[in-house]
Amino acid sequence: MSPRRWSLAQQLLGLQLTVITVLVTGTLAGAYVQADRASLDAARQKVLGIAWTVADSPSVRDGLAAPDPTAVLQPLADRLNRDAETDFVVVMTTGGIRYTHPDPRQIGGHFLGNIDDAVAGRPLTETYTGTLGASMRAVVPVRDGERVVGLVSVGIRLTSVAQQVRARIPSLLVTAALALLLAGAGSWLVSRWVRRQTHDLGPAQLARMYEFYDAVLHAVREGLLLLDRQGRLLLANDEARRLLGLDESALGRPIGAEGLLGVLAEGVPRTDEIHLAGDRVLVVNQAPAGAGMVVTLRDHTDLQALTGELDSVRGFTESLRAQAHEAANRLHTVLSLIELGRTAEAIEFAGAELAVAQRLTDRVVGAVREPVLAALLLGKAAQAAERGVELEVAPDAEVPEAALPPGDLVTIVGNLLDNAIDAAVAAPPPRRVSFSAIRHGGSLTLRVADSGPGLDPADVSRAFERGWSTKGAAHATASTGRGLGLALVGQAVHRHGGDIEVDGSAFTVRVAVGVPA
């Protein structure tokens, strides 16, 4: 039952009820004091008005001049006292000797109270304790022309005023009770809403949750975004801002309609889709959550580069397997010719096959000093041969070592050769793919061409977009990675400040390179 263990909603409700009770109690006390003051003011105005009315009455002036003023004025005072609902009406001399009084025994005695202002011709009101107890009284002069010939005092006992105030207490209590009831109901509704929003957690638990949430957002290695239904960015952790190049000003605003941000703004669920964001390859997951969408981003740029290199090694391995198979066939042929006694033909056949293989190896190794690219070309040549395509490496090809990072070279050349081989396989014979490389000053020009039909000029602008593929929409999905090769090529080329030119089935890449070691 300790308030420290209450939930935030319970603490808020208790605080609100306490504040409301204090306010209503204070308001009730203030209203009571104000009512008391208002009753005193009303009593003061009442006795002053009645006193002036009595003092201005000709009957009172005549009575003061009569031989026996009490006989004339006492009945008049009693009647006025009853009609005006006052406690006393006293008519007296300027010296304060009473001619009238509710208690006849007090007639002829001195008036208890201040009369100096009235004797001087000025009215006065005061609270004074006289023969009838404490009262609110007024004393005014009775004039005969300019001369003050007597005084009139009218009073109401304070007990009567208090009764009037007490008569208002029930209405004040009812009003306070209604105010408490309405305020309490409102506070209860607010606490219900707070309970739903905070899941009935306490301040300490919420503080711990915030600390955990903040620590996780800063420590998690995946990018995390939270979007509302209108595509406005509500939250982005450090990794998401780094991957997408966002800053603090992006919060609370639509994330945009271009590139990956435009894709995320569509609000469509996604699972392990591959997208490009600037020079990065990102795996995107997007799912609805509450009143918005949660997006996670994983940086696969380095993994994609390693995958490209792995594909090159795998291709080279496949080429070695194919060559080993072909070598076994040729060896059997040579052995069979020797067994048949046709030694000259065996030597001629073996020498010719060796010369062809050696010429390709010598050409590639002599022209391409970058070992990773050389291995890639030899592997692609073997793969192409298996598929009935001849891969030609230009005799004057020149790729110096360390001209570009090996991963980028594999990405550019490997994807262009894969697309070229696929295009050549789909074309009628002869099926050829050519590769050339020219180093000129601070730039390197790579050219891959094939015997296929080439790209439609209308498709060139879209060829380097993620997801576009000539293999059909069914294959060009973000989850399978189809339609990503040329997009990765474009990304790598632009990363090195280069450009790509497409002329039918020929792709020409120009990139800036450093001075070779």
pLDDT tens for each residue of 302-337: 665 566 566 656 656 666 666 666 667 767 777 787
What is residue 11's predicted lDDT score, i.e. its pLDDT?
Answer: 67
More confident residue, 19 or 476: 19
pLDDT band for position 124 (cuts 50, 70, 90): very high
Confidence of residue 267 (pLDDT cuts 50, 70, 90): confident
Q: Which of 65-79, 168-182, 380-394, 475-489 has the highest mean pLDDT?
A: 65-79
Contacts of 164 (CB under 8 A, 6+ apart): 39
Angle at 510 between CA 508 and CA 511, to 5 degrees: 145
269 or 322, greater pLDDT? 269
Whether the CB-CB separation of 110 and 125 falls below 8 Å is answered with no
pLDDT in tens, 289-306: 777 888 888 887 666 556
Exposed e or buried b per residue across 358-385, where buried means at least 16 C-beta atoms within 10 angstroms of its C-beta: eebeebbeebbebebbbbbbbbbbbbbb
Query: Distance between CA 62 and CA 58 in Å, rounded?
Result: 6
**pLDDT confidence bin for 390, thresholds 50/70/90:** confident
CB neighbour list of residue 171: distance below 8 Å, 6 or more residues apart: none
User: Containing H/E element for 432?
Assistant: strand 432-440
CB within 8 Å of 420: residues ≥ 6 apart: 433, 448, 449, 450, 452, 505, 507
Q: Which helix or strand (DSSP H or E) is residue 169 part of?
A: helix 158-198
Are 451 and 505 contacting, i.e. CB atoms less than 8 angstroms apart? yes
**Confidence band, pLDDT 50/70/90 cuts, at residue 405:** confident
* Helices within 258-300 (DSSP H only): 259-265
* Helix ranges, 368-459 (H): 371-386, 406-425
Instruction: Dump the DSSP string for 484-513.
Output: -HHHHHHHHHHHTT-EEEEETTEEEEEEE-
Ramachandran angles phi, psi of 53, nearest 5°: -65, -45
Q: What is the pLDDT of residue 123?
A: 92
- How far apart are alpha carbons 489 and 408 in whole angstroms? 8
- If one compares 428 and 10, the residue with the highest pLDDT of the two is 428
pLDDT at 477 over 50: no
**Per-residue pLDDT, 9:** 62
Tell me which of 120-124, 440-444, 513-517 is least confident: 513-517
478: pLDDT strictly greater than 50: no
Q: To 5 degrees, how large is the angle CA 464–CA 400–CA 517?
A: 125
Residues 6+ apart with CB under 8 A from 476: 467, 468, 469, 482, 483
Percent of the chain with pLDDT over 70: 78
Task: Give the side-chain half-sphere CA count within 13 A for 15.
Answer: 11
Lowest mean pLDDT among 24-38, 228-242, 463-477, 497-511: 463-477
Of the two residues 22 and 319, the one the predictor is more confident about is 22
459-463 contacts, C-beta under 8 A, 24 or more apart: 460/502, 463/502
In the prediction, which pLDDT does 100 show?
Answer: 92
- Distance from C-alpha of 462 to C-alpha of 275, rounded to nearest angstrom: 15
1-15, 111-125, 196-210, 221-235: segment of lowest average pLDDT: 1-15
CB-count exposure of residue 502 (10 Å: 0-12, 13-18, 19+): middle
pLDDT band at 515 (very low <50, low <70, confident <90, very high): very low
> Which own/partner contact pairs does 2-10 have at CB distance under 8 Å and 24+ positions apart?
4/204, 5/202, 6/202, 7/195, 7/198, 7/200, 7/201, 7/202, 8/194, 8/198, 8/201, 8/202, 8/203, 8/206, 9/191, 9/192, 9/194, 9/195, 9/198, 9/200, 10/191
**What whole-number distance in Å separates Cα of residue 97 and Cα of residue 157?**
21
Instruction: Provide the mean pLDDT of the chain.
Output: 78
Question: Higher pLDDT residue, 110 or 317?
Answer: 110
**Residue 83 confidence class, pLDDT cut points 50, 70, 90:** confident
Question: Residue 310's pLDDT is what?
Answer: 64
pLDDT band at 514 (very low <50, low <70, confident <90, very high): low
Separation between Cα atoms, residue 473 and residue 480, nearest integer Å: 12
- Cβ-contact 424, 490 below 8 angstroms: no
- How far apart CA 71 and CA 67 sit, in angstroms, is 9
* Tokens coding 266: 């569509």
What is the rounded CA–CA span in Å between residue 78 and residue 82?
A: 6
What average pLDDT does the segment 373-395 reach?
A: 81
* Helix/strand/coil percentages in the chain, nearest 5: 55, 20, 25
pLDDT at 354: 58
pLDDT of residue 481: 46
Q: pLDDT class for 4, splitting at 50, 70, 90?
A: low
Pull the structure tokens for residue 248: 């603090």
Report d(CA 182, CA 174) in Å as an integer: 12
CA 261 to chain CA mean position, Å:
17
Peptide bond connecting 430 to the previous residue in cis, omega within 30 degrees of 0: yes
pLDDT for 272 equals 79
**Entry pTM:** 0.45
Query: Could you tell me which of 95, 92, 97, 93 has the C-alpha nearest to residue 109?
Result: 97
Check pLDDT > 90 for residue 380.
Answer: no
| Residue whose tokens read 């208090």 | 162
The residues pairing with 508 across neighbouring beta strands, listed in sequence order, are: 447, 501
Q: Are strands 506-512 and 280-289 parallel, antiparallel or unpaired?
A: unpaired
Task: Give the Cα separation of 356 and 344 in Å (integer).
Answer: 19
- Residue 138 pLDDT grade (very low, low, confident, very high; cuts 50, 70, 90): very high
Q: What is the pLDDT of residue 91?
A: 92
Q: Do residues 222 and 298 touch, judged by C-beta distance below 8 A? A: yes
Q: Cα(first)–Cα(last) distance of the chain, in Å?
A: 78
Neighbours of 234 (CB within 10 A): 13
